[in-house]
Structure 1
Amino acid sequence: MDPAEAVETIQHEMTVFARRARASAGRLHPELSLVSYTLLGHLEESGGCRATDLAAHYALDKSTVSRQVAALERAALVERRPDPDDHRVQVLRLTDVGRHILAQVTESRRAAFRERLAGWPAGDLERFAQYLERYNGWVPGGD
């Protein structure tokens, strides 16, 4: 396969992967879209942040994040709290329910990956993991 064909195949397969991820998110938890799952994961990793930080991190429109956050608040998965350093600022944090749901969905996703990759040799798994890290670590303008 020449490099142009390889890039075309990669683009196609990444699109299939993204579609499958979006579709499976709803099956894992009906109220949790892939975007919601991603936002909850970021809030857990960061220990909380402002909605504008989420928008900037994911290069999303503020109104998109606002709608997602409102839905997460209605579902009692996130809450707003005053920033201890600046009481004018509201910080989004996971609720206990949000942490529980995120943990359930994360474990379901891990189980699905383990099942899908069960027959792969260890060397293939290691290379695949390294390639994904390399691909996801790329920064425009950097090499």
Structure 2
Amino acid sequence: MNGVTERDGGHARDEALETIRWELTALARRARAVAGRSHPELSLVAYSLLSHLSETGGCRAVDLADYFLLDKSTVSRQVAALERLGLVERHADPARGRGQRLVPTEAGSALLEDAVRRRHAAIIERLQDWSDDDLARFAEYLVRYNAAE
């Protein structure tokens, strides 16, 4: 049973879905603000690309476009901004001949480490009053939500 009765005609479900939409929008706005605080010239997209490059050890721009479902021109502009800021650099990709891998610079890695530390502290503070069971359920729901296609 999902809390929806025939009597309410699915109204409770509609309200829950609207609350979820609103809260996800607020979460996205907060993520954009965090990216902006990490570096004033860094958009959320650029921050996400830099983060992915760090997690994967680097990749090609086309791989970023495929992973994030972005247009290649968007990735190109964001990568150019990251390069101008000294956060990303290009390296020859021995597996691809003429291809180039994008990798975070030392400054890019430091920026990400600082952002992760601050995000972690903010999450701990925000959830400090939650029970272990609530945290486990929330984590499970987030994994489930993000795994859905």
Task: Give yes or no for TM over 0.5.
Answer: yes
Q: Which amino acid aligns with 2:15?
A: E
Structure with higher Rg: it is 2
How far apart in 2 are the matches of 1:134 and 1:76? 36
Would the aligned equivalents of 1:28 and 1:108 in 2 still touch at CA under 8 Å?
A: no
How far apart in 1 are the matches of 2:45 and 2:131? 32
Which of 37, 51, 73 is the matching residue for 1:63? 73
State the aligned residue count: 139
Instruction: Please provide the CA RMSD for this pair.
Output: 1.3
Aligned match of 2:82: 72
Aligned match of 1:34: 44
Aligned match of 1:134: 144
Structure 1's unaligned 5+ residue stretches are none
Q: Which runs of 4+ in 1 moved over 6 A?
A: none
Aligned match of 2:106: 96
How far apart in 2 are the matches of 1:49 and 1:83? 9
Which of 111, 128, 132 is the matching residue for 1:118? 128
SS where residue 105 of structure 1 aligns?
helix
Structure 2's unaligned 5+ residue stretches are 4-11
Would the aligned equivalents of 2:38 and 2:111 in 1 still touch at CA under 8 Å?
A: no
How far apart in 2 are the matches of 1:41 and 1:79? 14
Which of 10, 16, 41 is the matching residue for 1:6? 16
Tell me the TM-score normalised to structure 2 length: 0.87
SS where residue 91 of structure 1 aligns?
strand
How far apart in 1 are the matches of 2:78 and 2:55? 18
How far apart in 2 are the matches of 1:42 and 1:87? 23
How far apart in 1 are the matches of 2:19 and 2:96? 49
Which of 65, 85, 98 is the matching residue for 2:95? 85
How far apart in 1 are the matches of 2:131 and 2:124? 12
- 1:87 deviates by 2.3
- 1:31 deviates by 3.1
